Structure 1
Amino acid sequence: MTLLEVKEDRPTPKAVYNWRVYTCAAIASFASCTIGYDSAFIGTTLALPSFTKEFNFASYTPDALALLQANIVSVYQAGAFFGSLFAYGTSYFLGRRKSLFIFSAVFIVGAALMLAASGERGISPIIAGRVLAGIGVGGASNMVPIYISEISPPAVRGRLVGIYELGWQIGGLVGFWINYGVNTTLPPNRTQWLIPFAVQLIPAGLLFLGTFWIKESPRWLYSVGRKQEALEVLCWVRNLEPTDIYIVEEVQFIDQDLERYRREVGAGFWKPFAALKDPKVRWRFFLGGMLFLWQNGSGINAINYYSPTVFRSIGITGTNTGFLTTGIFGVVKTVLTIIWLLYLVDHVGRRRMLFIGAIGGSLCMWFIGAYIKISGPGSGTSTGMSSGGIAAIFFFYLWTAFYTPSWNGTPWVINSEMFSQQTRSLGQASAAANNWFWNFIISRFTPQMFLTMSYGVYFFFASLMVLSVVFVYFFIPETKSIPLEAMDRLFEIKPLRRANRVIMEELHLQDDEFRRNAEGSGLTAEKANVNQLEKTESA
């Protein structure tokens, strides 16, 4: 299999893999650039000499300073938790595109409010602005994976949702490096720390403008009865005519899935909540939330938000040295995300990558924790790095190499595709809320954990990564290449390790039968599409 070759659920015209679907995914992923930048820049900004001087950090005790830093970081996650839930309502009534418009506007207001903070006014505008910014990114984190998954051809859905993760890493890369740049090129004044806060307006503004160009999700349009508009958008994003057999089949799949859920669940804002009475639906919600527990349990957000603290615990001293080490961390993550996006997620698959990432990452964390336990770096006055310290830095970057192409983006991909049409918005809201809840827990308590647990923090994260292997093995099937409308069937097949292969075999048999029946009856693609539209409109 070549780098860009894909495993298709059915014969697919090359026109389907066109610039339109990639551009829509890229524009929507400016939301993740915003999220990635914010998660990366805030920790190093709090360590800038100009920022600590402006807000008089020297007057705080270590415990009080840790609490203040935790509050500045974690109110963003708290806002994001509620934003991800609000997005369910906006998504249901207004659609995916208008939801992105609203939440990008909320973020812009919050980011602008942060710029009003100063030594005289106090730090309150930053805290209030981060709450609003959190609501904005929380809603966007719900919408973007859904939107991309609903416009994506199944064979490249992982790659396209992976653009969301790539945007996260590009934003993070800029966020990790920007404070190194301002610290080395600008005097330690208000402008020095204000620039990193202002830059977050750029990706948010691009998303806001982009919502005027991207198309609404055709699956959402079908779900609200706007069938002619949905067909037009589907043909536009697939770059095919309405009479093409591929479009006919896709419309049929969507209609059958919607009809089944109208029959079994029913239409309406509250109906997906009623669907939670079904143990199978509740189970999938549980799986989606747990994936983000294990993702945050890897330690990634402790590193993202408090990278200077993390590197200081390993023995890295000096502001610029810490920023440089953090910047290299961002480069490694971005490069590996590109490899994951282009090849691993749609070729190696979701399940196998989660195994590799958790096992390898856990071993690295055990080593780093053991090094800190034995050597106690950061407790002395030496500025040099021992051979053990260099090894610890190597294992930290090796941990990054294991984590990034596995647990960094894969939970978002799985959650974007594992729910049915009628529960997808609510399911993604639940998954995003879980992500931000566990994100909040980690960001809120990481400073205190490093004060009290020292090397035990690394052992804690290593243990959680071991447990995640057990969870994935027993409970998460491989979703690679499976159409969204076949996900219910996928989760019914036992054993899980064979489910993907069984579904792909069934789909190929189904496709052969459909085409034989069409040829045998002399039914043209155009007539089939007309019949399908008449059927869906009467329903």
Structure 2
Amino acid sequence: MLKLKNIFAKTEDRPTPPEVYNWRIYGTALVASTASVLIGYDTGFVGACFTNEHFLANFGLTPNTTHTDDTVSNLISCFHAAAFFGALLSYPLAHYYGRKVALIVAAGIATIGAAVMLGGVAGHLAPIYLGRVFTGLTVGAATNLTVVYLSEVSPAPIRGQIIAAFEIGWRVGDLVGFWINYGISQHVPPGNKQWIIPVGVQLIPAGLFFVGSFVMLESPRWLFQVNRHEEAIRNLCFLRNLPSDNGYMVWEINTIRDSVEAQSAQIGPGLLDPAKEVFVRNRKYARRLVISACMLVIPNFMGIQSINYYSPKIFANIGVKGTNATLFSSGMFGVVKFICTFIYILFIVDNFGRRKAFMISASACSLCFWYLGAYLKINDPTKPGNVAGPGGTAAIAFMFMWTASFILAWSGGPFVWSSEVFEQNIRTFVQAINAAMSWVPIFIMTRLTSTMIDKMQYGIFFFFAAVAALAVPFVFFLVPETKGIALEDMDHLFTKGVPAYRAHQRVMQKASQTVLEEQSSVRSMDNDPSKKPETNYIENAAIQEIQPVFSRV
């Protein structure tokens, strides 16, 4: 049985000073997450905004025609196509100029894009398309740069929480977008203001992102990578809230520096050297890249993007009637996602773990959609003479249960996991590919969902259920647990011959044994004061109660 006192336990690969868990690292995560507010806001507002009758009338589009449906689909999907290229283009920028400069550039483009879209009030679609492309480029870059940055600055025991802050920003924007549409439908008089206001609100998250990107410190790991050691140590000490001569800092600085230098010697410092390492010289990284890319593709075929962008239509199909009712249900959909994101960050990602959450969540998602598909096959409430009844109420409940289950693992979890499992010198390269791949299924689903709903009807839910069911064995056999393990030790999780379901335990046992051996070595060198500074952190650790997996409550 899970004890209440262990809910906030941190899994540490070695004893960690409490000063490391400080407001500076959490504040950095909060500022960086402003990038994802823009992503979430687009998800929340665009579906209802672009189908608003006054938006359509402004551009001479007639509701419920093939031309209009295609135009709206193009407006939505051009954003995702741009995001694909934005993720890839962010790599050379971050490689040469660092994470911070790349984020500043992305934020500036987003702000311009949000402003350009307001030019559509004149009745021309060109500014809307151009603005969507600009913001899409930014969003694609942010899905790469932000998670890489957060993974590089965070301590191992809370790395999942820090990276998952990206998900909080996403859900905040998502929630605001949904409820702005609902509030406008209730309180803003009919006219162009009903779509101009939500389009203009984009400037707020874009502006926050732009200002916040100037405040953030550059990644210490990237600074070590480009031989700016003094600045790297200064930034790392600030984020850890410890002086550079502290034993823990001596260990972390040496570990990062040695790892980066070894990887640089092996891989090389050039822009294309990581590509050669992944695809030519060391194919183990290519296999790992396939797994991480699949982790970002799978959830987008489990239904989340279809429901995000077409929630009013989907809720109407399962029996929610009336425009206001469907908008309200869509808004509540956003509330559930927001609440569950906090539950995931506080209780699951660094405590319960990534791997178990993935499998349990996928199982629950599959069951929910099997029910929804079966219900609509037996009693479709949109057909004449059919009444939703108790089965329809249950269908709506299952929709919200699916939402909660999905958010508690598959929404932010794949970004956390994929950003952790690669070495420093190839991380930005592979994460650019991962981020780009995550936008491919989003583009596909936003283009096809409306057609799938019309043609497949209940079958679309069976499709989502099948994908979720297949995700369970995929995770069990291929995805190792990463919680509590230092980035420099991730490679050990993929040791040949060690199954994914045993890898985490073996790495943690090895780390535990290493620290115990280091403690023994320190005791044997008590008469040699010259070696004390290098191993001071071991002596400090010896004072603490060390459990087998170093669990701190």
The TM-score range, normalised by the shorter chain, is over 0.9
CA distance, structure 2, for counterparts of residue 336 and residue 489 of structure 1: 32
Name 1:145's counterpart in structure 2.
Answer: 147
**Which aligned pairs between 1:246-285 and structure 2 lie closer than 5 A?**
246-276=248-278, 277=280, 278-285=282-289
CA distance, structure 2, for counterparts of residue 347 and residue 380 of structure 1: 50
SS of 2:408's equivalent?
A: helix
Equivalent AA in structure 1 for residue 241 of structure 2? N
Name 2:409's counterpart in structure 1.
Answer: 406
CA distance, structure 1, for counterparts of residue 535 and residue 109 of structure 2: 44
Q: Count how many residue pairs are aligned between Structure 1 and Structure 2.
A: 526
CA distance, structure 2, for counterparts of residue 349 and residue 528 of structure 1: 31
Greater Cα offset, 515-524 or 351-360: 515-524
- For residues 23-65 of structure 1, the C-alpha deviation after alignment (integer angstroms, 9 at most, x for no partner) is 111100001111011111101212333323333442662x333
CA distance, structure 2, for counterparts of residue 6 and residue 219 of structure 1: 23
* Conserved? CA contact 1:84–1:138, under 8 Å: yes
Q: 1:196 to 1:127 in 2, by over 3 A?
A: same
Q: 1:527 to 1:396 in 2, by over 3 A?
A: closer
Name 2:328's counterpart in structure 1.
Answer: 324
Q: Is 1:300 matched up with 2:304?
A: yes
Name 2:161's counterpart in structure 1.
Answer: 159
Q: Is 1:173 matched up with 2:175?
A: yes
Equivalent AA in structure 2 for residue 472 of structure 1? V
Q: Is 1:73 matched up with 2:76?
A: yes
Shift of 1:356: 0.8
Name 2:449's counterpart in structure 1.
Answer: 446
Shift of 1:444: 1.4
**Which aligned pairs between 1:122-521 and structure 2 lie closer than 5 A?**
122-276=124-278, 277=280, 278-380=282-384, 385-492=388-495, 494-518=498-522, 520=525, 521=528
- For residues 108-130 of structure 1, the C-alpha deviation after alignment (integer angstroms, 9 at most, x for no partner) is 11111111113x53222212211
- For residues 104-163 of structure 1, the C-alpha deviation after alignment (integer angstroms, 9 at most, x for no partner) is 111111111111113x53222212211110001111111111111111110000011111
**Structure 2: 5+ residue runs without aligned partners?**
537-553
CA distance, structure 2, for counterparts of residue 357 and residue 375 of structure 1: 27
- For residues 467-495 of structure 1, the C-alpha deviation after alignment (integer angstroms, 9 at most, x for no partner) is 11121111100011110001111111512
Shift of 1:310: 1.2
- For residues 185-229 of structure 1, the C-alpha deviation after alignment (integer angstroms, 9 at most, x for no partner) is 001111121111111211121121112221000000000000011
CA distance, structure 1, for counterparts of residue 306 and residue 39 of structure 2: 15
- For residues 338-365 of structure 1, the C-alpha deviation after alignment (integer angstroms, 9 at most, x for no partner) is 0100011111110100101111101111
SS of 1:211's equivalent?
A: helix
* Conserved? CA contact 2:421–2:487, under 8 Å: yes
CA RMSD of aligned residues (A): 1.7
* Conserved? CA contact 2:91–2:429, under 8 Å: yes
CA distance, structure 2, for counterparts of residue 514 and residue 175 of structure 1: 53
* Conserved? CA contact 1:244–1:525, under 8 Å: no
* Conserved? CA contact 2:340–2:407, under 8 Å: yes
Equivalent AA in structure 2 for residue 522 of structure 1? P
Q: Is 1:103 matched up with 2:106?
A: yes
* Conserved? CA contact 2:247–2:534, under 8 Å: no
Q: 1:99 to 1:515 in 2, by over 3 A?
A: farther
Shift of 1:89: 0.7
* Conserved? CA contact 1:44–1:307, under 8 Å: no
Equivalent AA in structure 2 for residue 225 of structure 1? N
CA distance, structure 2, for counterparts of residue 166 and residue 125 of structure 1: 30
CA distance, structure 2, for counterparts of residue 66 and residue 59 of structure 1: 8
Of all paired residues, the percent bearing the same amino acid is 40
Equivalent AA in structure 2 for residue 265 of structure 1? I
CA distance, structure 2, for counterparts of residue 168 and residue 263 of structure 1: 38
* Conserved? CA contact 2:114–2:206, under 8 Å: no
Greater Cα offset, 224-233 or 51-60: 51-60
Greater Cα offset, 509-518 or 519-528: 519-528
Shift of 1:318: 1.6
Name 2:550's counterpart in structure 1.
Answer: none
CA distance, structure 2, for counterparts of residue 336 and residue 252 of structure 1: 38
* Conserved? CA contact 1:111–1:200, under 8 Å: yes
Equivalent AA in structure 2 for residue 250 of structure 1? E
* Conserved? CA contact 2:296–2:434, under 8 Å: yes
TM-score when normalising by structure 2: 0.92
Equivalent AA in structure 2 for residue 188 of structure 1? P
Shift of 1:279: 1.5
Q: Is 1:9 matched up with 2:13?
A: yes
Name 1:86's counterpart in structure 2.
Answer: 89
**Structure 1: 5+ residue runs without aligned partners?**
530-539
* Conserved? CA contact 1:292–1:438, under 8 Å: no
Name 1:58's counterpart in structure 2.
Answer: 62
Name 2:529's counterpart in structure 1.
Answer: 522
* Conserved? CA contact 1:316–1:378, under 8 Å: no
CA distance, structure 1, for counterparts of residue 390 and residue 204 of structure 2: 42
SS of 2:410's equivalent?
A: helix
* Conserved? CA contact 1:40–1:172, under 8 Å: yes
Equivalent AA in structure 2 for residue 30 of structure 1? T
